[in-house]
Structure 1
Amino acid sequence: MNFKNRLVILLVGAALFSCNQKPTNNAEVQQSLVFPKGELIKNNNFTGNAYLSMMVYADSINKNSVGNVTFEPGARTNWHSHPNGQIILAIDGKGYYQEKGSPKKILLKGDLVKCPANIPHWHGASEDKEFIQVAITSRVDGPTKWLEVVTDEEYLE
């Protein structure tokens, strides 16, 4: 079994065995998360508040990066594409995923999306619920290509 398959199994397993109790304070919320919430993303590639906790950085040996992204309600990425595609694992909440020219898909805990290479897409939280995802992105043929903002009309469509 190769590294990617082992990583996906590990991540899915961790999500499935996460705590289902309702936390009552911020410390308990942080403890109940499968992965840390991370730091607020401060760039122009997102609408709304999203947080990133990098778990694996691509390097010269393994050119995959793995990050846990938490989107507040209404938050989303811009349109973007990946030269080698991307895998999104829905960890919690309710999110959306859309490829250019296709209908928007609803993502719930346990859903998995395999984003095709070089296809513009966006993902993020629903209007009323936070969304937590793990994104696995190959960096073999280069970085993410960021495109235009997802308009409110596209988001709500």
Structure 2
Amino acid sequence: MNKNATAPTVKTPAKNFTGDVWMNPVFGGDGASRLTVGLVRFTPGARTNWHRHANGQLLVCTDGVGLVGTRDGHTVVLRAGESVWTPAGEEHFHGGTADNMMCHFAILDAAGEGEATTWLEPVTDQQYTAAHTAAQV
């Protein structure tokens, strides 16, 4: 068993996020495991760019209210205690709602060839507003 020290909070890179998003790395693999976990905090209106994961991603909301949306316009509201699985290769975004912060654990398997996450273009304000409408937030 190994206890991991608390990692410092870091501001996420503006090239992959809109708004203020902060992250605490929780686990980054140990050689045998390629499990990656981060605790991510989104301020109201903040969100990821469109992106996809080679092996999928599990989001587990710990606080607040957020949105998870896909390219086809499907959007779900994510609240504390709820989780969302995005399958391998599915382009999606996640973040806080316009009026609420959201905090979640982002969990993924980084095993395999290439990058575990492929970052794409920003979610436009129009797409973000449409996600709110679709989710009836």
Question: Unpaired segments of 5 or more residues in structure 2?
Answer: 1-5, 131-137
Name the one with the larger helix percent. Answer: 1
1:125 aligns to what? 96
In structure 2, what is the Cα distance between the partners aligned to 1:88 and 1:36? 20
Per the alignment, residue 129 of structure 2 pairs with 156
Q: Could you tell me how far 1:36 is from its partner in structure 2?
A: 8.1
Equivalent residue, structure 2, for 1:11: none
Alpha-carbon separation, structure 2, partners of 1:129 and 1:36: 25
Q: Within the alignment, does 1:104 sit opposite 2:75 as a pair?
A: yes
- After superposition, residues 3-18 of structure 1 pair within 5 angstroms as none
Bigger mean CA deviation after superposition, 55-64 or 131-140: 55-64
1:146 aligns with 2:119: yes
By how many angstroms is 1:37 displaced? 8.3
- The question of 1:69 aligning with 2:40 is answered yes
Question: Equivalent residue for 2:84?
Answer: 113
Task: Please tell me whether residue 79 in structure 1 is matched to residue 50 in structure 2.
Answer: yes
Unaligned runs of 5+ residues in structure 1 are 1-34
Q: Which SS does the other structure have where 1:44 is aligned?
A: coil
Q: SS state of the match for residue 156, structure 1?
A: helix
Shift of residue 111, structure 1, vs aligned partner: 0.9
Task: Find the structure with the greater CA-based Rg.
Answer: 1
- Relative contact order, CA 8 A, sep 6+: which one is greater? 2
40-49 vs 130-139, which moves further: 40-49
Q: TM-score, normalised by structure 2?
A: 0.84
Q: Partners in 2 of 1:36 and 1:127 — Cα distance? A: 28
Q: Is the 8 A contact 2:21 2:40 kept in 1?
A: yes
**1:89 pairs with 2:89:** no
Which digits, 9 at most, give the CA deviation of each residue in 1:81-129, with x for residues without a partner?
A: 0000000001000100011103211111111001100110000000011
* Superposed CA offset, 1:1-51 (max 9, x none): xxxxxxxxxxxxxxxxxxxxxxxxxxxxxxxxxx98822213310000000
The alignment's TM-score, normalised by the length of structure 1, stands at 0.74
| Higher fraction of strand | 2
